[in-house]
Amino acid sequence: MTQARMQQGLVLGMSTLAFTVCFMVWMMFAVLGVPIKELLQLNETQFGLLAATPVLTGSLVRLPLGLLTDRFGGRIVFFLLMLTCVLPLYLITYATAYWQFLVLGLFVGLAGGSFSVGIAYVAKWFDKDNQGFAMGVFGAGNAGAAVTKFLAPALIAFGTWHLVPKVFSAILFITALLFWFLTAENKSHRSASGATLREQLACLKDPAVWRYCQYYSIVFGGYVALALWMTKYYVQEYGFSLQSAALLAACFSLPGGVLRAVGGWMSDRWGAHSVTWWVLWVSWVCLFLLSYPPTQLQVQTVNGPLDFHIGLNATLFTVLLFVMGIAFAFGKASVFKYISDDYPKNMGAVSGIVGLAGGLGGFVLPILFGALVDLTGVRSSCFMLMYGVVWVSLAWMYLSEVRKNPLLGKRPL
């Protein structure tokens, strides 16, 4: 019993560490992209593509990696995945052209697929009553986005941007070795060897899977997109230095990662639906306020014109981001509680599908953010777009869950 608990602890702890480092690498261009943008004179859309390129491959490989995890086990898949990313990450140091950064970014982005591997690997080591908390602890590795915002600016200030990929590749390699030697594999956690690809993908016919994809596209896809976008947003909108902007952006990234374990505990106690429902409403309110662009308003009075300025200062903006980061953290955990409850025997495949949808949201949104800024000239247009996505999620949840069972939407937290 003691040995089993020790194995559980090591699997959870090392998987969380490995996922944190992988996420740190995956979000690297959130900071590294700022000096590269200046170096290559990129426009907003080009920067959005550069920042989002790693997210594309990290999203597309989530489903196949989830299937491989079900079949071969999470330990070997996770280890080989980390080793695969070390060399392309190091080679970014020598990139000089835009296309080179994009190509290497595609390979580095494979690290983002670690989520669908780790979540299935960890969940199968815990019983159903504790799965939500365990998956929440593992998902706290999203805080790797905040680690990037602390570490990368310090490395750039110490030397140049070239130092970032060198140090990150060394950290990833060491983490891969530690993971391999300190974790264990339980062959009973694998899917039956006779399970075909068609049988594993049968869950695609289930409408609930697509609904969970929609929820995750905002709580995770939106989290990734804003984690990539906010450092540059602070620099351009409020005039902060790169180091200060990254620190403030971490006020969103950090709670969005580390509090995921709390969301898992809440989902175990009150259910995935109740947590997700209120997460979406809190996000809706925050995004409504964040969407309003700075406005100069002139009112003609009997004493002459009276000027007003309507807009969010940096403090209020950061507070709203912080609150939304907490909501997203809870939502990421609650969506995967849905999955562990509904698909315990096919979790690798379903988590891969839902993770793919969330990752694609994280890829598409930064590009759309840049395109909207280039088109409208309004930086807060990124929040307007996300506000619309949350509306869709709320409507879908109401029609498919709340309206069919009104008591669900009234369960107190």
* 186-213 pLDDT tens trace: 776 665 545 556 666 666 677 788 888 8
Q: Say which CATH number the domain at 171 has.
A: 1.20.1250.20
pLDDT at 268: 81
User: What's phi and psi for 357, nearest 5 deg?
Assistant: -65, -45
What value does the mean pLDDT take over residues 367-388? 90
Q: How far apart are the first and last CA of the chain?
A: 34
Range 225-253 average pLDDT: 88
Residue percentage of the chain with pLDDT more than 90: 27
The Cα 123–Cα 237 span in angstroms is 41
pTM for this one? 0.77
The pLDDT, as a whole number, for residue 176 is: 96
**127-185: per-residue pLDDT in tens?**
777 777 787 788 778 788 888 888 999 898 887 889 999 999 999 999 999 999 998 88
Structural domain range at position 361: 2-186+195-410
Reply yes or no on whether the pLDDT at 260 is more than 70. Answer: yes
Per the structure, the count of domains in the chain is: 1
* Residue 399 burial (C-beta neighbours within 10 Å; 0-12, 13-18, 19+): exposed
Least confident of 8-17, 323-332, 340-349, 399-408: 399-408
The neighbouring-strand residues paired with 309 are 296
* Helix, strand, coil percent content, the chain, rounded in steps of 5: 80, 5, 15
Quote the mean pLDDT of the chain: 85
